[in-house]
Each structure stands twice: as C-alpha cells, then as structure tokens.
C-alpha cells in the first residue's frame, strides 16, 4: 500500500514569486493570498484521499518566520527592525524567510520502498532543494519531521551536498513503476525507478533546470537501486522553458501506468553524455523492456501529444500533476484526483474522460479546489509525498500524525481562529502580523506533537 504524506499550509502562505521557472508563481507575485483558505483546501484534499480509505498523514507547517535565518544575512536589531530593513533592502529574502513552500511535500524527499533495495529498509533521502534559496531552508526540518513520522527501521538520509551541481528536488523528479500487485504490497518484485534530471546539454533557453543529473544518480546509488532497475532520463529543455520546472508537471506514474506529455523527455541524453549508462537504445525503451521482463507484462505507457494537449495547456491545467491513488485492494479501482483547472481546460478534460470511460485507466475522477496552492505552481501531486509500505511498516508510523476525522476537526478550528485570511508582501514586514503567524504555527505544531 502507499501512504500519502501532506503538510498543512502555514499562516504565512503568500505569493512571493520565488519559484524558479514556475510560471504560476511568477504570475501571481505580489497578489493577496489567503492562508486560511490555502490550509483548508489542503485539508480538503487530505480528507478526500483519507475518506477513500488511503492512509493519509499530516505534517505541521515548518517553523516560520525564520528571523534567525534573516539575521544571518546581517540584519540586526529588534525583530521589528529586522523585518523593516529586510522589506526595504531585500524583499526576496524576507519572502523566503516566511515561505510555506515546504507544503509541497513531493519535493521533501525521494523514497524507495524496502523491497526495492538490498538493504530491505525503507530508504529516504531528504531533498536539498538548493536550486532555490527559499526552498533550501526546508531540508533540515524536513529530515527531523520525517524521522518522527516514519517507522523506526526506515533510513532517513541527509540531503545530498548541494550547490548547483548537486541540486535535488526529491520525488517530483522520480517515478517508480511496478507490477499491479505491488501497489498492494502483496508481491516482492522490486520496482523500477525513473529519475528525471534537467541539467546538461541541450540547455533550456529561459529557465534554470532544477534537478541535476549527479543528484539523481547519487540518490540511486545511496538507495542501492540495482543498476538494471534504475533509469535516468533528461527532461526536455522545451518543457522546462514552457514552465515544467518539475517532471511531475508533465508526467505521472502509478503502478504499471506511466502517463506523460510527448515533450516530457529528451531521451538521447545517455548516448550523448557518454555516462556509465551509455546505450544506443533510448532510455524509455530500455525501461519498457525491463518492465516487461521483470513483471511479465507490458508497461502501460500513455503518451499525450501536443495536438491532444499543447504543452502550455499541460502546464496551465496541471493535468499531469493529478494525484493517483488506489483505495482498497482492487488495482482497477484507481482514482485520479485532478485540480479544478483540468475541468476548465476542454482538452485536458476530454483526456481525463477518455482515460476513465474508454481506456479504463481510472475507475473514478475527482476534482479538488486547490487554487491557493495552484497559484504558486503546486497541484495535487505536488502536495503529497508517496511512501510505499507494507502493512507492518504502516503500523510503525507516528499515530498522532495520521489523518482522522477528529484531527481534521481540530486542525480546522485552529485554522479558523488563528490563520489570517489575507497576506500581502507588506504584511510580512509587520511585526504584529508576523508574531500572530508564529503563534499559529506553534499551536498547530503542538497539536501534532512538535514543539
Ligand atoms: O518549488 N512553488 C513551488 C511549487 C512546487 C511544486 N511542486 C511540484 N511540482 N512537485 C516551487 O516552485 C512558490 C513560492 C512563491 O511563489 O513565493 C514555490 O516555491
């Protein structure tokens, strides 16, 4: 089975425009956000997933504001002075110190289930997120939180050394493919791992690729994924330039199903880069062959053409960022959880209907309202970290972090009373606003057992 880990959006959720290569983030920069609505929308999605019977866990917002972090840039004096000077001299740093970007837990880490690695341990590498300053703040706390959440036998490894050459964005650039039964944890055939990186030639013209090849290969090595089960492919530079800053904006996977836009991959990288994985056969073809050999059936690969869905609409609708879950025991019961924006894009909507009604890829399609997250470039799949586990491992998760109707009620009442319903960039420099936000973070963290 697969546990889903989301994080509650924090009270300083705002539109800072900080997302590298992220069109929604850039486009909403400086607009008024609604942290209360953002947190409730995230909880609504968690409730949708949990009520389907899928194990759902909740992490608290990370500690914000991070005035200690701002002070490291030389801002001194009282808290109010630090805030005021940062707003005047370095608004992007102020925004980073208040950012709730840890809410996108698909970027928290890369996860390998215990049965995919010879160590037989659930293995996690926290993402360093060093492509963006505001996100590089997250890793330290994320490691702490995942250690608290996951069963004691899990290995939660530190982030890779960062810097430009080691930048790692976690599960958003990683896909695991496995036999149908694997989703249920009832067979023991190791899954296949597809890592997607963006650096190297050909380079995008507009945006910095977020994931480096060495980071992808490093995680594969650390997780001891057997070489025949690990694949590394390059993100297409045109997709990055069109706003696909993470692979999960143009591709999705679930069990034996791989759906991606035709522009998702630039599949000649291994040949050109002359790496250890050098091969004349395109990576995606090798992956499909290996899948067939390992699972005795073909990989279900759905390639969406630009005629069916232009790349621009893939990015604006976030179709590929829909969250796929399998409730219960029947692999045919997969549910596709789409952002409402898919319903508003006729080409994306007709694909989803076809996948459900004609192709039988999904038993059901649900739509969720996530406009606060979407306006910063985060859809349903960005908001969750998948952790494939056995039933026994699941029982070792921190029980207090499991979504329940009761926890949902409690979180909603704290959000209603302690979260602001508006946040502007100027509010982030207002000592009273910031103080109240810090208090609200403390309340939620305490409720979830974090000091
Ligand atoms: O890293 N947005 C996030 C969105 C992450 C989406 N995650 C996945 N695709 N898995 C990012 O760009 C926006 C911050 C701002 O606008 O202030 C931001 O960080």
Secondary structure in 3-state letters for the chain: CEEEEEECCCCCCCCCCCCCCCHHHHHHCCCCECHHHHHHHHHHHHHHHHHCCCCEEEECCCCCCCHHHHHCCCCCCCHHHHHHHHHHHCHHHHHHHHCCHHHCHHHCEEEECHHHCCCCCCEEEECCCCCCHHHHCCHHHHHHHHHHHCCCCCEEECCCCCCHHHCCCHHHHEEEECCHHHHHCCCCCCCEEEEEECCCCCCCCCCCCCCCHHHHHHHHHHCCCCHHHEEEEEECHHHHHCCCCCHHHCEEEECCEEEEECCCEECCHHHHHCCCCCCCCCHHHHHHHHHHHHHCCCCEEEEECCCCCCHHHHHHHCHHHCEEECCCCCHHHCEEEEEHHHHCCHHHHHHHHHHHHCCCCCCEEEEECCHHHHCCCCCCCCCCEEEECCHHHHHCCCHHHECCHHHHHHHHHHHHHHCCCCECCHHHHCHHHHHHHHHHHHHHHHHCCCC
pTM over 0.95: yes
Residue 187: its pLDDT value, please?
A: 55
| Residue pair 98/122 in contact by the 8 Å Cβ criterion | no
- Nearest residue (by CA) to ligand 1, atom 16, is 17
In the reported structure, the alpha carbon of residue 339 is separated from the centroid of ligand 1 by a whole-number distance in angstroms of: 16
Q: Determine the residue of 129, 378, 423 to mutate for testing ligand 1's pocket, defined as the one with the most ligand atoms within 8 A of the Cβ atom.
A: 378
Q: Torsion-angle region of residue 125: left (phi > 0), alpha (psi -120 to 50) or beta?
A: beta
Q: How far apart are CA 25 and CA 192, in angstroms?
A: 32
**Whole-number CA gyration radius for the chain:** 21
- Contacts of residue 221, defined as CB under 8 A and 6 or more positions apart, other chains included, come to none
Residue 271: its pLDDT value, please?
A: 45
Token code pair at residue 273: 């880069």
- Please state the atom number of ligand 1 nearest to the C-alpha of residue 210: 1
Q: How far apart are CA 426 and CA 293, in angstroms?
A: 58
Q: Determine the residue of 106, 376, 423, 424 to mutate for testing ligand 1's pocket, defined as the one with the most ligand atoms within 8 A of the Cβ atom.
A: 376
Residue 280: its pLDDT value, please?
A: 78
Q: How far apart are CA 77 and CA 211, in angstroms?
A: 37
Mean pLDDT by 10 residues, the chain (451 residues): 97 98 98 98 98 98 98 98 98 98 98 96 98 97 98 98 95 93 62 97 97 98 97 98 98 97 85 55 96 95 98 98 92 95 98 98 98 98 97 97 98 98 97 98 98 82
Query: Which neighbouring-strand residues pair with 250?
Result: none
Active site residues: 169, 246, 382
Whose CA is closest to 322, among 257, 394, 267, 232?
257
Whose CA is closest to 62, among 401, 442, 422, 322?
442
Q: Please, is 106 exposed, middle or buried when counting C-beta atoms within 10 Å of its C-beta (0-12, 13-18, 19+)?
A: buried
| Residue pair 264/304 in contact by the 8 Å Cβ criterion | no
Q: Determine the residue of 139, 377, 384, 424 to mutate for testing ligand 1's pocket, defined as the one with the most ligand atoms within 8 A of the Cβ atom.
A: 377
Looking up tokens 């979180």 gives 411
Residue 282: its pLDDT value, please?
A: 94
- Nearest residue (by CA) to ligand 1, atom 1, is 19
End-to-end CA distance of the chain: 30
Q: Please, is 254 exposed, middle or buried when counting C-beta atoms within 10 Å of its C-beta (0-12, 13-18, 19+)?
A: buried
Residue 186: its pLDDT value, please?
A: 52
Whose CA is closest to 7, among 55, 65, 58?
58
The residues lining ligand 1, judged by C-beta closer than 6 Å to any ligand atom, are 15-19, 22, 25, 95, 99, 101, 104, 106-107, 135, 172, 245-246, 248-249, 376-378, 382
Looking up tokens 């999904």 gives 362
In the reported structure, the alpha carbon of residue 9 is separated from the centroid of ligand 1 by a whole-number distance in angstroms of: 13
| Residue pair 166/221 in contact by the 8 Å Cβ criterion | no
Say if strands 192-197 and 174-177 run parallel, antiparallel, or are unpaired. Answer: antiparallel
Q: Torsion-angle region of residue 120: left (phi > 0), alpha (psi -120 to 50) or beta?
A: left
In the reported structure, the alpha carbon of residue 130 is separated from the centroid of ligand 1 by a whole-number distance in angstroms of: 13
- Nearest residue (by CA) to ligand 1, atom 7, is 382
- Please state the atom number of ligand 1 nearest to the C-alpha of residue 129: 1
Token code pair at residue 412: 């909603």
In the reported structure, the alpha carbon of residue 245 is separated from the centroid of ligand 1 by a whole-number distance in angstroms of: 9
């Amino acid at each position: 089975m697969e546990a889903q880990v989301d994080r509650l959006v924090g009270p300083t959720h705002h539109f800072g425009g900080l997302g590298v290569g992220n069109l929604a983030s850039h486009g909403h920069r400086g607009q008024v956000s609604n942290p209360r609505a953002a947190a409730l929308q995230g909880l609504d999605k968690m409730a949708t997933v949990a009520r389907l019977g899928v194990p759902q866990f909740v992490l608290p917002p990370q500690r914000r504001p991070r005035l200690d972090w701002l002070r490291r840039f030389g801002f001194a004096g009282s808290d109010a002075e630090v805030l005021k000077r940062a707003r005047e001299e370095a608004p992007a740093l102020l925004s980073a110190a208040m950012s709730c970007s840890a809410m996108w837990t698909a970027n928290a880490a890369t996860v390998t289930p215990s049965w995919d690695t010879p160590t037989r341990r659930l293995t996690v590498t926290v993402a360093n997120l060093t492509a963006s300053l505001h996100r590089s703040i997250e890793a330290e706390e994320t490691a702490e939180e995942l250690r608290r959440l996951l069963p004691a036998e899990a290995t939660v490894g530190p982030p890779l050394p960062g810097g430009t050459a080691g930048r790692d964005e976690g599960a958003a650039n990683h896909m695991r493919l496995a036999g149908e039964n694997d989703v249920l944890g009832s067979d023991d055939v190791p899954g296949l791992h597809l890592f997607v990186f963006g650096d190297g030639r050909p380079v995008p013209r507009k945006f910095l690729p977020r994931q480096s090849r060495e980071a992808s290969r490093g995680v594969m090595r650390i997780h001891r994924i057997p070489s025949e089960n690990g694949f590394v492919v390059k993100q297409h530079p045109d997709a990055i330039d069109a706003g696909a800053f993470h692979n999960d904006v143009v591709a999705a996977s679930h069990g034996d199903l791989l759906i991606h836009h035709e522009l998702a991959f630039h599949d000649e990288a291994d040949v050109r880069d002359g790496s250890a994985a050098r091969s004349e056969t395109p990576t995606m073809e090798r992956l499909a062959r290996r899948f067939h050999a390992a699972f005795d059936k073909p990989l279900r690969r759905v390639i969406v053409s630009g005629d069916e869905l232009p790349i621009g609409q893939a990015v604006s609708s976030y179709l590929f960022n829909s969250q796929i879950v399998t409730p219960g025991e029947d692999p045919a019961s997969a549910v596709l959880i789409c952002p409402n924006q898919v319903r508003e894009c006729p080409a994306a909507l007709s694909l989803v209907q076809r996948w459900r009604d004609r192709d039988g890829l999904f038993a059901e399609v649900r739509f969720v309202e996530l406009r606060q997250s979407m306006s910063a470039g985060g859809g349903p799949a960005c908001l969750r970290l998948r952790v494939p586990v056995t039933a026994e491992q699941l029982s070792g998760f921190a029980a207090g972090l499991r979504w329940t109707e009761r926890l949902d009620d409690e979180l909603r009442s704290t959000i209603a009373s302690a979260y602001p319903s508006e946040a502007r960039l100027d509010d982030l420099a207002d000592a009273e606003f910031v103080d109240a936000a810090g208090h609200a973070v403390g309340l939620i963290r305490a409720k979830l057992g974090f000091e």
